[in-house]
Structure 1
Amino acid sequence: MSQSFYVGDAAGRVKNWKAGAKRDFSVSDRKFAANLKLPFRTPEEHFLGEEPTKSWDWRSINPVEAMSEQKYASIDEFPSTSTIVSDKSEVILCCGFPASGKSTFSRRHLIPAGYVWVNRDTLKTPARCLKAVKETLSNGGKAVVDNTNPDRKSREPYILAAKAAGVPIRCFWFQTSREIASHLNFCREKQTNGAVRRIPEVGFNVFKKRFSPPQRAEGFSEVVKIDFKPQFDSDRDREIFDLWT
């Protein structure tokens, strides 16, 4: 490896990086080399002796820089009027991009506290999700709705169900940016060895198109913003997060 280098034309070069040149279709070669910690060269540099161009970009976040620049919020930094969990019947409704950390947060903080996990990935339809929430509340339980819930229309049925049961409903709004969520989308597929499949890019586009910020006026007792805070279960998970995707 110490004597190796990588040559590829998916180098992230922009249009007209040299006179008349087209934009590179991808940055995958450059990222692959970076992940392997190998020197990278384009074919023009290696075979034709041209000078390396500066007209290129990664087209995605630098995960290492994102880690250092992110203003992480700890659990202790929740608003003073908020607590993560309640000992009374309630609904917590998540809102955020796909792969923004909703399920991880639910598994770490809510499910162990007795919240019934309601998720469309497992229940398949909105009707089944709503039914599970209503059944939970009828038994005096607590539920967390772990879906993207981008707009008022998707959130309203749960607000009405909570109101009918006479219990509060809080919205946990995940502040993870699309760039980081997209990165996490690739990471978790690798971290789980394919058990969690990557979400197509259209899923992110649909969320962005439909999104309206959750507000207390919709019927929430509280809207709590959840900042992205990475917590790695292993050194391998951290190493995967630090790779370009």
Structure 2
Amino acid sequence: MEPVQVINPDLFLETEAGRVWTPERSKRAWADSFEALEQSLSDADKSSTRLLIVCGLQGAGKSQWIRDYAKDYAPCVCFDAALPGARHRKPILDMANKHGLETLAVWIDTPIEIAKQRNLTRQLYKRVPDESIESVARLFEPPQRNEGFSEVIRIVATM
């Protein structure tokens, strides 16, 4: 197992022509990401591997944080997605509990205007509509330890 594994539903939307989103492809991408997570957790060394659920607005800097800092938590599996509510995080926590893995939340807390600005710097096919970022911001519930996390790490992002 790699020291840091990353599972991101967006990666399952990639095609040779770039990222293609449709409701059907999105549903399949999430199913594929849960399947990949199940496999990674099943293969993990239960005595040392941790699951990091890295959540926040689109454009918050989740993937960048994983590239820069996840190695400090290795060996780990990182689930990289907005996951705005406890109900969105619950299936992932349930899977980790089934496999007996410690799970940490890493909340990248970024103001919506900064997230939107960062989104504009992405390649065109990776940009998220502002309406989607605004929707996640309205729905966002900060992760809490009582959801089942051993720790909640809040990263307050600035430009």
CA distance in 2, matches of 1:198, 1:122: 13
Query: Within the alignment, does 1:208 sit opposite 2:97 as a pair?
Result: no
Q: Which has the larger radius of gyration?
A: 1
Which residue in the other structure is 1:220 paired with? 149
Structure 2 matches for 1:119-198, cutoff 5 A?
119-124=8-13, 125-140=29-44, 142-189=76-123, 194=124, 197-198=126-127
Local SS of the residue matching 1:148: coil
Deviation at 1:209, TM superposition (A): 2.5
Local SS of the residue matching 1:188: coil
The structure where helix makes up a greater share of residues is 2
Which residue in the other structure is 2:69 paired with? none
Q: Tell me the TM-score normalised to structure 2 length.
A: 0.65
Query: Percent of aligned positions with the same letter in both sequences?
Result: 29
Alpha-carbon displacement from aligned partner over 1:23-43 (angstroms, at most 9, x marks no partner):
xxxxxxxxxxxxxxxxxxxxx
Q: Residue 121 and residue 152 in structure 1: after superposition, are their counterparts in 2 closer, same or farther (change >3 A)?
A: same
Q: Residue 140 and residue 197 in structure 1: after superposition, are their counterparts in 2 closer, same or farther (change >3 A)?
A: closer
Alpha-carbon displacement from aligned partner over 1:56-96 (angstroms, at most 9, x marks no partner):
xxxxxxxxxxxxxxxxxxxxxxxxxxxxxxxxx9xxxxxxx
Is the CA contact 2:143–2:152 (under 8 Å) kept in the aligned structure 1? yes
Deviation at 1:228, TM superposition (A): 1.9
CA distance in 1, matches of 2:83, 2:135: 11
Structure 2 matches for 1:82-93, cutoff 5 A?
none
The structure where strand makes up a greater share of residues is 2
Residue type at the aligned position of 1:116? Q
Q: CA RMSD in A?
A: 2.0
Local SS of the residue matching 2:154: strand
Alignment size in residue pairs: 114
CA distance in 2, matches of 1:133, 1:198: 25
Local SS of the residue matching 1:157: helix
Deviation at 1:144, TM superposition (A): 0.5
- Higher RCO (CA 8 Å, separation ≥ 6 residues): 2
Question: Which structure 2 segments of 5+ residues have no match?
Answer: 14-28, 46-75
Residue type at the aligned position of 1:207? V
CA distance in 2, matches of 1:157, 1:202: 25
Deviation at 1:151, TM superposition (A): 0.4
